[in-house]
Amino acid sequence: IDDVRDDITEVLLTEEQIAGKIAELARRIEADYTDDDDVLLVGVLRGAVMVMADLARELRLQLNMDWMAVSSYGSGTQSSGVVRILKDLDTDITGRKVLIVEDIIDSGLTLSWLLANLRSRGAASVEICALLRKPEAVKVEIDVRYVGYDIPNAFVVGYGLDYAERYRNLKSIGVLAPHVYS
């Protein structure tokens, strides 16, 4: 993993900072739900895997976990906001309190679509918990209940976040060096 260091220009968030923020988010979530709510955490594959694993274990709350995989249609690198479901939930969410778990909100297109989709299934509530958000990149405003960090509009990887499927297993979140993608 040593050669990965040259690919990162700056550590944005250390393992400790991430853990602290996850705990903080968990305390806020615990204050809003009870065990009787039977909260369903919905992780968005694949980026949200680390946040989901750590947040779920940090939450002192009865909960279920399920996963969705989605992909943005669209030409080239521009996301169109039209989303295709690659893996749907295994859970019927009618009447359920759903909390979507995401690693990052970039344009917001994925989540705004997902939010509408899950709400249309008759969930009792659908809220969002995202570890990171890039305010400068937002194209659609969405109401995000739990946000960890607002970060600059840089290419970040690690802790679930990838570039070309790499770097997801880094424990910290760092800024990707331009030589990697240019």
x-or-dash string of contact with ligand PRP, 6-45, rule CB under 6 A: --------------------------------------xx
Instruction: Identify residues 73-132 at the interface with ligand PRP (CB under 6 A).
Output: 79, 102-111
Contact with Mg ion (CB under 5 A) among 89, 162, 172, 177: 162
> Which of helix, strand or coil describes residue 41?
strand
Closest approach of Cβ 117 to Mg ion, in Å?
A: 19
In the complex with Mg ion, the residue whose CB is nearer, 58 or 162, is 162
Measured between alpha carbons, how far apart are the two ends of the chain, in Å? 21
Q: Binding mask 31-50 vs Mn ion (x if CB under 5 A, - otherwise)?
A: ----------------x---
Burial of 141 (0-12, 13-18, 19+ CB in 10 A): exposed
Give me the active site residues, please. 106
Task: Outline where the chain has alpha helix (H).
Answer: 15-32, 49-58, 109-119, 178-181
When asked if residue 37 is in the footprint of Mg ion (CB under 5 A), the reply is no
Place of tokens 């659609």: 140
Under the criterion CB under 5 A, does residue 158 sit at the interface with Mn ion? Answer: no
H or E element in which residue 40 lies = strand 39-45
List contacts with ligand PRP (CB under 6 A): 44-47, 79, 102-111, 162
List contacts with Mn ion (CB under 5 A): 47
